Amino acid sequence: MNQRVLDNRYELQELIGGGGMADVYKAKDLLLDRPVAVKILHEQFKRDTEFIEKFHREAQAAAKLSHPNIVNIYDVGVMEEDHYIVMEYVPGSTLKDLIKEQGHLQPAAALRVARDIASALAHAHANNLVHCDIKPHNILMMPDGSAKVADFGIARAVTESTMTYTGNVVGSVHYFSPEQAKGTMITPRSDVYALGVVLYEMLTGQLPFNGETPVSIAMKHLQEQPLSVRQLDSSIPPVVEAIVSRMMSKDPNMRPSSRELVQDISQAMQMLGGGFAPAVSDPYATQVLPRVQESAVAPRSERYTANYDDEEPENEKAVFKSKKFIVGLTMVLIMGFFVGAFLSFGKFWSNSEVEVPDVTGKQMTLAKQILEDKRLRVKVDEEFDAEVPAGMVISQNPEGGAKVKEERLVTIKVSKGGENIEMPDVRGLKRADAIAKLEKMGLKVGRVTERNSDDEEAGVIIASDPRAGTKVTKGLSIDLVVSKGKKEKKAAVPDVTGLPIESARKALGNAGFKVGGVEKKASKQAAGTVISQSPSGGVDAVAGESVHLVVAEAGKETEEKNSKPAAGSSKETTTAPKPNESSKSR
């Protein structure tokens, strides 16, 4: 498979990984001259029509994700029955490698990695995409310690197709959620469970469940409770133990959403950073409470009207028209106004003022935490902004540095990333027209390269990245490839001097050249013979170029000969001989 080129663009260089469904190669994008990772499905999936269809659909859905903690997907395609995905190439190791190397991670480091993964999942879940195969093998570690989630798309396609191939469960059974093990409906909280297992492994260096067979491990996910992380390592803070326990709840409804999880982890990190003592009871720890039976609590309406079922207001409409009702309603509205003013501008009776921190450019969860630490309340508004990464604060009101009272409401606008649109087809357009079309749709022009083309004239767009039809975000930079026209082929011009004109034409034509201008000139050579040429013979020239010829003119040489005096003519007899000729005649 090495050194193979997919679709005349992706040159496979070396095998860098693989799993139960696909192999991953490091490759070179010949069009954009950059390294990429190419994942190619295994042989057994090539003819599964349902799987292939969902594989492509989910890969395309994953391509619309734009997040710093998600590996970007550039392209998806098929060549000679090989279905492949082209992804961002991330050099380095996986989280699994890191755990093996260190044995386990310190709680603060484990929480940082878990927060990166949870942030990536929150973005994916907001875009209605479930990963379904979160495990350390799919988490790529960056040199700065941050994490990127890979393999969005494939696992979802497997789950939605069939759960078994050749009698075996497809997936990573050690990280299965209970509902995944049962084959029931998968939800975003299934990813949260898997991340809980990953966090468990990061903290302790071991998995919560092991067994001799995949089925026995799956049954433990369904029926057993794992040892708590503090039972394995008492130095782990209770707040961290509570987060893991809640994430690995058997009931999906008891688990936090991915967005809530980001907030929980951020709060735990702040507690740890503030010198949190493990022995202190954690007020945020998850508690095991018996489920409340619906029959045990009477509905609100029944509890308040049980003794008045037979009593009906005699004149209900009259109540709403009475003066007391109108006055009461007016007072409620006035009080509501003052309450709203209080909520907006803080405590009227408080003299405590705080300076509003500047949180623009910060991640939403961190921004909220910074503001709340200053005893300010936070309202989050989201909007599309291609210039600001998703989840980052675009602006705030009041602005940073403003002096306000405590409990003032601060509104922060958070980016949802660029608005998703379909990449237009600009192939065949002139460069200026293509740029105008992209800019009209809110897209930017990135790198523009030129390439020879036998099909398109110079100045016409022949390719774009991303390709037409893929989902892109407004404000994204689009790389274009412009035709330089046909590639100029050079060849040596044959030497045709001394050849008859027709033979010269034939020799030049066979070599890929043509005869341009033909100039006639008097010469001692036979009429119609090539006297000289331009370019000269042996010179390299562009194929198809014209060669100028100079040809001997018919009749000129004869006229010159006839114009000379003949021997013994009368003119010669009247001309006095030269002295030397006279001496010679003597």
Mark whether 184 and 267 lie in a shared domain: yes
* DSSP designation for 252: G
| Residue 352 and residue 433 in one domain | no
Q: Do 108 and 177 lie in a common domain?
A: yes
Q: Give per-residue pLDDT as tens, 214-272.
A: 888 888 888 889 999 999 999 999 889 999 999 999 989 889 999 999 999 999 998 88
Q: Cα–Cα distance between 104 and 98 in angstroms, integer?
A: 8
pLDDT score at 298: 38
Find how far residue 248's CA is from the centre of its chain.
Answer: 30
**Average pLDDT of the residues of the chain:** 78
Verify that 399 and 443 share a domain, yes or no: no
Q: If we measure between CA atoms, which residue out of 106, 148, 143, 144 comes closest to residue 131?
A: 148
In a domain, 356, yes or no: yes
In a domain, 127, yes or no: yes
Q: Which of 391, 415, 439 delimits the end of a domain?
A: 415
Give the residue from 169, 193, 165, 166 showing the smallest Cα distance to 179.
193
Which distant-in-sequence residues (6+ apart) come within 8 Å of 336 by Cβ?
Answer: none
Domain contains 585? no
| Tokens standing for residue 500 | 């008859």
306: in domain: no
**Does 574 reside within a domain?**
no
DSSP symbols for 514-554: EEEEEEEE--SSPTTBEEEEESPTT-EEETT-EEEEEEEPT
Confidence of residue 316 (pLDDT cuts 50, 70, 90): very low
At 425-440, the pLDDT tens digits run 999 999 999 999 999 8
**What is the edge-to-edge ordering of all strands in the sheet holding 546-552?**
514-521, 546-552, 530-534
Residues 516 and 534: their CA atoms lie apart, in Å, by: 10
Please state, in angstroms and as integers, the Cα–Cα distance from residue 473 to each residue in 66, 364, 374, 420, 436, following that order: 9, 20, 35, 4, 17
Closest-CA residue to 125 (of 190, 60, 175): 190
Q: Which domain holds residue 538?
A: 490-560
Give residue 203's pLDDT band: very low, low, confident or very high (50, 70, 90): very high
Is residue 133 part of the annotated active site? The answer reads yes
Beta-bridged to residue 75, according to DSSP, are 86
- pLDDT digit string, tens, across residues 540-558: 888 778 999 999 987 655 4
Both 136 and 251 in one domain: the answer is yes
Q: What is the mean pLDDT of residues 336-341?
A: 52
At a CB cut-off of 8 Å and minimum separation 6, what does 309 contact?
none
Same domain, 453 and 368: no
Q: Token digits for 95? A: 């989280």
Give yes or no for residue 54 having a pLDDT over 80.
no
- If one counts the domains in the chain, the total is 5
Please check whether residues 99 and 224 belong to one and the same domain: yes
CB-count exposure of residue 370 (10 Å: 0-12, 13-18, 19+): middle
Q: In the numeric block, which tokens belong to residue 485?
A: 């026209």
Q: Is there a single domain that holds both residue 504 and residue 458? A: no
Please tell me which residue, 161 or 444, carries the higher pLDDT value: 444
d(CA 394, CA 383): 9
Structural domain includes residue 135: yes
79 and 124 fall within a common domain: no
Asked whether the predicted pLDDT for residue 530 surpasses 60, the reply is yes
Residue where a domain stops, chosen among 415, 446, 463: 415
- Residue 320: inside a domain: no
Strands 471-473 and 420-422: antiparallel
Stated length of the chain = 586
Please indicate, yes or no, whether residues 82 and 101 belong to a single structural domain of this protein. Answer: no
Any domain includes 297: no
363, 392, 415 — which closes off a domain? Answer: 415
Q: What is the pLDDT of residue 430?
A: 93
- Distance, in Å, from the CA atom of 525 to the CA atom of 547, rounded to the nearest integer, reads 20
Which one is catalytic: 29, 75, 133, 465?
133
pLDDT band for position 417 (cuts 50, 70, 90): confident
